[in-house]
Structure 1
Amino acid sequence: MQSAGLLTAEQLTIVFGNVQELIDVNDKFTEHLQDSIDQAFDRGDEDLLTVSIGEIFLEFVNMLPAFQTYCLQQSAAVNMLNALEKEKELLRIFLDVSQNDNTALRRMNLRSFLMAPLQRVTKYPLLLSRISKATAERHPDHARLREAKSRVESHLEHVNTRTKQEGATWSLRSFRRDSRKSREVVNIEMREMSVRTVGWARESTRFVMEGPLQISQPADGQWARKGSRALKFQNVQSLLMVHDKSSGKFAVLREPIHLGNCVVSADPECDDTFEVLDIRREAFVLRATDKSRTQQWFRQIKRYTRDLGPWRKRRNALPNIMINTAQSRS
């Protein structure tokens, strides 16, 4: 269309939106699924019982914001296409001829093709539900299938909310009867804001944990002796995300804490809290709603921080590696 002078590059961008991103996302999903099928055949699993559809969809959920972007652009795309067809007779003739004479188009008009991604993504919950019903409860993928269905539904409900906020005249079919936002919908909003803040690509971002934490900044590392009761905590929604190389509801509390510059530590005398020390800047004491959740956060964050060796008994919150380095240089 652009080479024929029917549409400018800007008009094409409005009409087709981020369709190339959708193509890339679906190619990646298809490739992952095909790899799993090939591996099953290599193991002699001709019934494909070892293919974890639920696990694949859970990894694919992080790609759903690409569909959201496309959905939010649809009203502008349709309006632009309607206006252009009225203004440009050659464009209207081109679309009519293509629809009737090109067998690959199956006599579908351009608007039908533009709606196809939306129609596809709304079928995923039903597809996952049917696969889940056909999967034995003892199968390791059964729970993941149900979780994937729930998370896809939450994303679709989030898209509905956004389209209403944008004043669109249409929306995806609603998948939840209650008007309250589910926790997953809230988490979706936080993920979107966090990815924009750090500037990471969606496809290389993995969300490890999320949920409420309480945060405090103690003075001079005295919190261990006085105990957590002496600290003033602030409630925050927290998200642990990693960058995999192999204004809205939320506002940024502070600059992101880059775990590559941090040491994480838990004091035996304060098992309901843990500390994240940015070796170049400051320290933070964190805790969750209960000790079990606190320990879960601690283990996950510790996994992604720098391995600076064991901590010595507290003295101004300095890790052993700093002491050992100083001794080796003397």
Structure 2
Amino acid sequence: MLRTGRSRFESLSGELGAAASLLLANLEKEKELLRIFLRVSQMENAVLRRMNLNSFLMVPVQRVTKYPLLLARLYKVTPSHHEGRELLKQAQHKIELHLEHMNAEAKDFTSTKLWRRISIINLRRSSSEVDMINIKLRKMALDILEWNHDEARFVMEGKLLYTNPTDNNWRRGRTLKLNTINALLVTNGKPTEEYRPDLEDEVLLFPKRTGVREATLLLLKEKCGRYSLIREPLYLDKCIVCCEADWEEYFEVQELASKDTFIFKAEDGERTKAWYKQLQYHAQGLGAWRKRRNALANIMINGMLTRN
């Protein structure tokens, strides 16, 4: 009996919704004033522009709260000798339990801190969303640098933590306040056989003709889904990349012209090490001031050679 009543109630609700939509359509045709009123309402309220009459009718979630009252009335008017009377009472009790459970879950969700809910949403980002963000950032980087698409290469990209060191925060034992940014290491030029950024850490780095003419580090921040540059690109031919032995979890990039210094750190130690290694490698091969200025080879062996 309960299932039959429920199915009839659902079919009746659907029929009423369809009938109401049809009635509204007929009224729009017959009553020009009603049509004008609806059009003005949609123009003034953006929410109404994509809402039809079904959106204003009672939805299933709202109908659930009416079921206990409906069952209570059915129980009240059902004769005591009827075999389905107790089933109505049991159904009312079960629905009330479900409603209490739903209310408890809703209360727990609303009590959760906003930053926690945001972090949960961020963790659920699919790989396709991450790929779309990377494509967006790459396009933005090429537009900023105005490099040839065929010769531009993205060596590394991802999240970095950074700060600008001062006398107050750059002290031993102090906890640095770091900000999260998106970083991209981009090179310009066609690499040659000498271009080997995957060398071991123990290998000494010397400037070589790698085919890379330019390399830059782009720092971008996100706000409300939009990305913007934190500052002008850091061109590595005008930067020094270094790391202190007792602070291996951080590395430093200093721009020579402006004397701006940035302290960086990745999500973990391995990632930090990879960023530092790539930045140092690409910075080492750029900049005329890094090259040996007319120096002589084996100067200690043959000191009689004269410079040209």
Tell me the TM-score normalized by structure 2.
0.39
Of Structure 1 and Structure 2, the greater strand share is in 2
Greater Cα radius of gyration, structure 1 or 2 = 2
Tell me the TM-score normalized by structure 1.
0.36
